[in-house]
Structure 1
Amino acid sequence: MVDRSGGGSRGGAGAAKVRRARRPELRLPPLEPWPAGAGLEPDGDYDGVELRGADLSGQEGIGARFMDCAVEECALDGTDLGRARILDSSLSGIRGVGTDLAGATLRDVEVVDARLGGTQLHGAVLERVLIRGGKIDYLNLRKARLKDVVFEGCVLVEPDFGGARLERVEFPGCVVTGADLSAATLVDVDLRDAARLEIARGVDRLGGAVISTAQLLDLAPVFAAALGVRVEG
């Protein structure tokens, strides 16, 4: 579905109809400070905890559960949080390379000003998640399920959505370069307000998304290549 009205209009005749993403509504309770020197534990249960400035690099929290937590300015280099459940929580200013969240569940979560590289979220489930600001390089979301997810004002370098399902996902103000949509399924995905949109692979999977006229023109060479059309002159 392509918006041919010439921009990101949300109403009026001819405007594209797309269901909007539902954003998380966080109301954190009073939090307990993370004990100095404490570390993550596999299958750990963390409820109402504030982690501020902690270095969690290389630690293992496989299968851990975080409920009503705030994680601020923490280092997550090589942290293993596979199959973790992060619920009703905020993550602000986190940074790290190779953070492993494969198979994790994020529900009603806000991620603000993250600086991440090579984050593994393949097979993860994201529902009512807001990712605002920051920069994420080489985000692996292969075969993940995203529902009601908003990427807002962030930079995504070569995100991999291969085989993923995206439903009610938005990218307002984002710079998205080198995206891989191979074998992805898109339902009510709104790309119109992305500041920049580059699709490296899987442009044929854009059925179920809405783009602007300007984006259509920018993507014309990619569409032509996918159709085997040779453009000359």
Structure 2
Amino acid sequence: MRAARRPEVRLPPLEPYDGGGLEADGDYDGLEFRERDLAGQDGAGARFMDCALTGCVLDETSLTRARVLDSVLTGVRGVGTRLAEATLRDVELVDARLGGTQLHGAVLERVLVRGGKIDYLNLRRSRLKDVVFEGCVLVEPDFGGARLERVEFVDCALKGADFSAAALTDVDLRGASPLELARGVDRLSGSVISPAQLLDLAPVLAAELGLRVLAE
């Protein structure tokens, strides 16, 4: 089992962002977005490099195909944030409160998600490499058709996860508690779980195998 490589984000001195709304295909370098209401804005295709987003509101914000590089997002919150086909590389997402975030078809590399709660995270057909979920709560995340390589769940609640058609390589699920799978238990090859988790998953595994367990 190869461990995930965590991001090592070292932000330079940042300039406060004093512009208006986000712009599609905008270029944001070395900026701090603090307590900004970005709800409903269109930053599709934008590039964020060496940026910090702190306490920002991201309800229905469009960041489709955006590139977020060497950046830290702290305390962001929002419902329906659109990040489909986005690229997140060397990113820390800390204490987020998000719901229905669309990350399908996205690429995540060296990303740390620490603390917070994310409901209904859509990662279908995405690619995750060197990603760590630590101390967070994930409710019904959808990894359907995704490729996960060197992904770790550390002190993380994983509730109702969907791994249908996913491909896993060096995925460490031992730190997920609870570990609840809605679908895709047959796709866990390439992951590692604990003995206690194996017992918890026994009913799901038996159902997948068509195995009936009856007392004498």
Normalised by the shorter chain, which TM-score bucket? Answer: over 0.9
Which SS does the other structure have where 1:96 is aligned?
strand
SS at match of 1:27: coil
Structure 1: tracts of 5 or more residues without a match: 1-17
Query: What is the match of residue 133 of structure 1?
Result: 115
Q: CA offsets, 1:117-144, max 9 Å, x none?
A: 0000000000000000000000000000
Residue segments in structure 2 that go unaligned for 5+ positions in a row: none
Aligned to 2:50: 68
Give the letter aligned to residue 75 of structure 1.
V
CA distance in 1, matches of 2:201, 2:214: 16
Q: Percent identity?
A: 76
Matched, 1:111 2:93: yes
Q: Could you give the per-residue CA deviations for residues 84-132 of structure 1, whole angstroms, max 9, x where no partner exists?
A: 0000000000000000000000000000000000000000000000000
Shift of 1:232: 2.2
In structure 1, distance between residues paired with 2:128 and 2:212: 35
In the TM superposition, 1:182-201 aligns within 5 A as 182-201=164-183
Aligned positions, number: 215
Match of 2:16 in 1: 33
2:12 paired with 1:23: no
**How far, CA to CA, are the matches of 1:56 and 1:169 in structure 2?**
30
d(CA) in 2 for partners of 1:77, 1:178: 24
Q: Which 4+ stretches in 1 moved above 2 angstroms?
A: none
Kindly indicate whether structure 1 or structure 2 has the higher relative contact order, using CA contacts under 8 Å at least 6 residues apart.
1
Quick one: distance in 2 between partners of 1:139 and 1:63?
Answer: 20
Cα RMSD, aligned residues only: 0.6
Question: For residues 6-51 of structure 1, what are the alpha-carbon distances to aligned partners after superposition, in whole Å with 9 as ceiling and x for unaligned?
Answer: xxxxxxxxxxxx1000000011001010106x11000000000000
Pairwise CA distance, 1:228: 1.0
Counterpart residue identity of residue 34, structure 1 = Y
Residue 195 of structure 1 and its aligned partner are, at CA, apart by 2.2
**C-alpha deviation, 1:193, in angstroms:** 1.5
Aligned residue for 1:221, secondary structure, equals helix
1:94 is aligned with what amino acid? V
Alpha-carbon distance in 2 for matches of 1:59, 1:74:
12
Q: Equivalent residue of 1:195, what SS?
A: strand
1:1-233 superposed matches below 5 A: 18-35=1-18, 38-233=20-215
Q: Give the alignment's TM-score, normalised by structure 2.
A: 0.99
SS in structure 2 of the partner of residue 39 of structure 1: coil
| Structure 2 Cα separation of the partners of residues 193 and 57 of structure 1 | 34
Shift of the alpha carbon at 1:83? 0.2
Structure 2 Cα separation of the partners of residues 174 and 168 of structure 1: 16
| Partner Cα separation in structure 2 for residue 221 and residue 194 of structure 1 | 18
TM-score, normalization by structure 1: 0.91
Q: Secondary structure of 1:224's partner?
A: helix
The answer to which structure has the higher strand fraction is 2
